[in-house]
Chain A
Amino acid sequence: MQERRFGYEEEWGRLMRLALDGDALAYRTLLGAIAPHLRNTVRRFLARSGRGTADLEDIVQEILLAVHLKRATWDRSLPFMPWLNAVARYKTIDALRRAGIRGEVELDGLADTLAAQEGQEDHTLDSKRILQALEARQRDIVEQIMLMGRSAAEVGSALGMSEGAVRVALHRSLKKLATIFRTGSHEN
């Protein structure tokens, strides 16, 4: 993947530094800003590999999750973009490799068609599938934060939990989500 030099590279590094020091607004801004870049990067990669874009958004989300879970591995004294692109490359290749294993093999036209349809089914990690894999409590927490936009404290009040307990459950859910992405919905 090419690394183009635009002004936003330094801005994103600046935002990530703030985020690593605890600035949630900077972090939200950063994630929202890099998502389109990741989308384009993955789209180019898929095109070059001759693959369709059915999994595009899943891969983007998988990369964002990896950026989040592995954010401490960025060395602040080094540029942000090579780190970001390395994470994106690693996760995209991983996703494509898994898709290959699940049967998108060049056999004949029919097999390709079936595989493509199967691929759509297997890869679309819709909310229902993900939430199914979580425990009931984790599911409630994730739903309230994602769909209602509540904070951990607000979710705690709503569910009768401490904010700390909500945070622990949230973090565990995200790590579980990474496993689901990595091993696919078959692991359910």
Chain B
Amino acid sequence: MKTENFIRLLAEDLPSGPARQGIALTRWMSATALATGAAFLLFAGARADLLGGGLLPSIMKVFMGALLAWAAIGGATSLARPEASVVQPLRRLVTFAAFLAFLFATELVFRGLDGWLVRMFGKSIVGCLTVIPLLALLPLVVSLHALRGGATTSPTFAGGLAGLASAGVAIIAYGVFCTEDSLVFVATWYSLAAIMVAGLGAVLGRTLLRW
């Protein structure tokens, strides 16, 4: 096939292009977050003491979920360009992890070291580790689909970021329901759940995000 003839083919297909640059990941994930949150709350309901003692912990969890989603969505969006570097997204994640470690340390300082392991193991590890990944599935499908419209040259990492973003969305929904308030618990097990979803996203991204 002669290249100059092939170019004719490409040029004739010019009008088929999408109008705008960008994968609109923020928009997609915001919509998915609303849908996931509403559906989960209808199904499971918010915690009983939401307007009482549970308000502050819930706000904190929702905030952390949103922060994780924001950091990961920003990273994934930038990686949708082929020339983008993984450095900036990595830096954002490291900053987030540092903040998380800070929260973990804060609780140890304020509530003391007595029984911190008991606080860490809490009551609902299994619940936490199953519900968060389950809630993250729809956002993961949505974000991977959006990323396929891009052209990432780091498919595994981009998939992992999609996973983290999805976990963030799941945590926003789950945070209003979960009654475990120890920061030590949240930082440990929510993180593990997020890492699981990130791993799934990375594995899927490796094949799905090729172009």
Contact = CB atoms under 8 A, between A and B. Distances in A.
Indicate, yes or no, whether A interacts with B. yes
Interface of A: 19-20, 22, 24, 27-28, 31-32, 35, 57, 60-61, 64-66, 68-76, 78, 82-83, 85-87, 89-90, 94, 125-127, 130, 142, 145-147, 149, 151-152, 167, 170-171, 174, 178, 182
Given A24-B12, A78-B81, A142-B9, 10 more contacts: A22-B14, A28-B11, A32-B4, A66-B211, A75-B81, A86-B81, A127-B1, A130-B1, A147-B5, A170-B16
A24 B14 contact: yes
A133 to B, nearest CB: 13
A66 B151 CA distance: 9
In order of increasing CB-CB distance, the 8 nearest A-B pairs are A86-B83, A86-B82, A70-B151, A82-B83, A73-B151, A146-B5, A68-B10, A28-B11
Contacts, number: 106
Contact of B15 (A22, A28, A94): A22
14 contacts: A19-B14, A20-B17, A22-B14, A24-B11, A28-B7, A61-B3, A69-B211, A70-B211, A72-B17, A86-B83, A90-B82, A90-B153, A146-B8, A152-B12
A182 to B, nearest CB: 7
Q: Is the interface of B mostly helix, strand, loop or mixed?
A: loop
Contact of A149 (B8, B13, B14): B8
A33 to B, nearest CB: 10
Nearest to B155: A90
Nearest to A147: B5
Contact of B9 (A83, A94, A174): A174
Contact of A145 (B12, B21, B153, B211): B12
- Which residue, of A64, A73, A74, A82, has the highest number of chain B Cβ atoms within 10 A? A73
B20 interface: yes
Contact of A83 (B7, B22, B83, B211): B83
